[in-house]
Amino acid sequence: MDREELKKTLEELGIPEGAVSLTGEARPACISLKALRNNVWQVFFIEDFGIQSVSDLFDSEEDACKHVLQMVLGDLDYFQRQDVKDWYAKLLTDPEYIEFCRKLNENRK
């Protein structure tokens, strides 16, 4: 499984767009997958206030994608709730949230 296959699977499961980042972007309340150097992949979760709470490293994109999917499937009932989908949709258009994410990613470089 690669990121394109994972993206398709997440869409089929009805996972909200803002719940998972497959581009390595750090966002609060988001599972992120990031390609590092030397074919190392990082999966991390950012808490609401920008604190990284979970971080795992993988030797392949496939293993990292499988891990992201396992994380999502572990909370599938939560991600499929309509109120959660509405919350993520609102976040992605909130100017304060967008600015917070911009600063968060700027500081992670």
- Taking residues 41-58, report their average pLDDT: 84
pLDDT digits (tens, 9 = 90+) for 56-99: 999 999 999 999 999 999 999 999 999 999 999 998 899 998 89
Does pLDDT of 51 surpass 80? no
Does pLDDT of 17 surpass 70? yes
Burial of 1 (0-12, 13-18, 19+ CB in 10 A): middle
- Binned at pLDDT 50, 70 and 90, residue 109 comes out as low
More confident residue, 59 or 49: 59
Give the residue from 42, 15, 46 showing the smallest Cα distance to 30: 46
